[in-house]
A = this chain, B = another copy of it.
Amino acid sequence: MGTTMNRQWLLATRPKGMVKESDFRYQESPIPELSDGQFLVRVLYVAFEPAMRGWMEDRASYIPPIQLGEVMRAVCVGQVVESKHPSFQPGDCVTGGYGWQDYVVTNGRGGLMPTTPIPRDVPLTMPLSVLGITGLTAYFGMLDVGKPQAGETVVVSGAAGATGSVAGQIAKIKGCRVIGIAGGAQKCQWLTKEAHFDAVIDYKSEPVEKRLKELCPNGINIFFDNVGGDILDAALANLAPKARIVLCGGISRYNEEELPPGPKNYFALILQRARMEGFILIDYASRFGEAIPELAGWVASGQIKYQEDIQEGFENAPKVFLRLFEGKNIGKQLLKIADPPLARK
């Protein structure tokens, strides 16, 4: 089974301001024993989401906060290595909310996310990226909240991120003109060259509000926001009538110690009869089954390109998480912690 110890990263302290490595604590535990109806999962890949920063805060939200001393919560891919559960056999590859650890014993239900088998022909990391939380967030956020119509102008912030890049490409599939906002030449180039965005704004070297005005002379019909802050205000200043702002996230806010100011241009929602709406992916759980095959089809046909940023080494988990807030990741941030110990079933 690779190791005989279960390495774990726990939440050590509630972060103040920017999350740091010392907010986590490393420990080694024995590998837990199985009871009837349970199975043992060897974790292979850990996925990192900006939203995890919110789960570390001690406040009621759409899911309970991570407790101090609790294993860091995360969606993972793993392989079943022992089983006393009729539906899961050693060798099965699975995805679920296993957390930052080598091993977990589970009955397959409960927690962040129930265990779901991964079909044999699906690459192991895909259920963590384009066919997982991030792809599904892009899918329901763009289609259900944004409701793109052919010919509309769509702007995506955090456009080179795992969710933003898929959201923009879905809008392209629906016939929209799509403009991405991202930081740095490498990300911007990927968006126009590979992901076929119509235009891109590099917020690190260009004035976003001015560029939006130039690129969207008739205004923005849909703004899909992963960032908040000044970028949200720049979009509000350039809305088309009846615009929809899809609030997906606000990575500029997550590590602020004090609540930052809100969007000073929110009054544009009145002047443009526009709407700003948030959503949470878990509300759409009953419809994942319709979304995943459609996303998989778009990936297979080349209409959706995606990137994964796969780091290695369990010991690096906190460092890898920080990459999200440093803007270092290109595409979905993953951490590989092991190869499958058994032949894949």
Contacts and interface: CB of A to CB of B under 8 A. Distances in A.
A264 B265 contact: no
Contacts of A250: 267, 270
Interface stretch (A105-113, A273-281, A304-312): A273-281
Contact of A266 (B62, B270, B276): B276
Interface string A251-273: 00100000111111111111111
Copies of this chain, count: 2
Given A261-B262, A264-B261, A249 B276 contact: no
Nearest to A239: B278
B266 A263 contact: yes
A61 interface: yes
Interface residues of A, number: 32
A109 to B, nearest CB: 23
Contact of A271 (B233, B265, B271, B280): B280
A278 B275 CA distance: 6
Contacts of A249: 270
A277 B271 contact: no
A283 interface: yes
B270 A279 contact: yes
A200 interface: no
Contacts of A272: 278
Nearest to A54: B271
Interface string A227-264: 01000010000000000000111100100000111111
Contacts of A283: 273
B259 A262 contact: no
A277 B269 contact: yes
Contact of A276 (B228, B269, B273): B269
